C-alpha cells in the first residue's frame, strides 16, 4: 500500500493479469478509480479529492502543506477531521480483509461495498 505523505493512500490487486487500483477516501474506505474520477479536483494540483478542508477547493495536501502557512498554524489544526495525519490513521486502521479481492470467485465490487467505515 502506498500512502503519499500522511493523507490518502492507494492500493491495488491483480485480477485476470491486470492490476486494479483502489484509492482510500477521507473515511478510510477503499474506492475504485472510477468513483474517484467523479470527485472534485483540487484547484491547485488537480488531484481528485472526496472531501476538501473548509470547502477551500484544495486537496488536503495543498491546504495543509502547500498553503504557505507556518508550522504553528499546521499543528494548531491537528484536531480537524481532514488533518492529513488523521486521514492517514483512518487508512492505516482499515480492517477490510484484502485477500478476497484476488479470489476469482469473489465479485470484488460487491465485496468493497461491505466496508463498514
HEC string of 79-104 equals CCCCCHHHHHHHHHCCCCCCHHHHCC
Q: Which of 71, 78, 74, 76 is nearest to 63 (CA)?
A: 74
The whole-angstrom separation of Cα 51 and Cα 26 is: 7
| Tens digits of residue pLDDT in 4-56 | 444 577 788 888 888 998 888 888 888 888 888 889 999 999 888 899 999 99
What value does the mean pLDDT take over residues 53-69? 91
Amino acid at each position: 500500500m502506498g500512502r503519499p505523505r500522511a493523507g490518502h493512500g492507494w492500493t491495488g490487486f491483480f485480477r485476470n493479469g491486470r492490476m486494479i487500483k483502489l484509492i482510500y477516501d477521507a473515511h478510510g474506505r477503499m474506492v475504485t478509480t472510477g468513483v474517484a474520477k467523479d470527485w472534485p479536483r483540487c484547484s491547485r494540483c488537480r488531484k481528485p479529492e472526496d472531501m476538501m478542508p473548509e470547502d477551500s477547493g484544495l486537496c488536503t495536501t495543498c491546504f495543509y502543506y502547500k498553503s504557505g502557512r507556518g508550522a504553528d498554524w499546521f499543528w494548531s489544526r491537528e484536531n480537524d477531521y481532514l488533518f492529513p495525519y488523521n486521514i492517514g490513521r483512518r487508512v492505516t486502521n482499515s480492517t477490510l480483509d484484502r485477500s478476497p479481492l484476488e479470489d476469482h470467485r469473489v465479485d470484488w465490487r460487491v465485496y468493497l461495498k461491505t466496508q463498514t467505515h
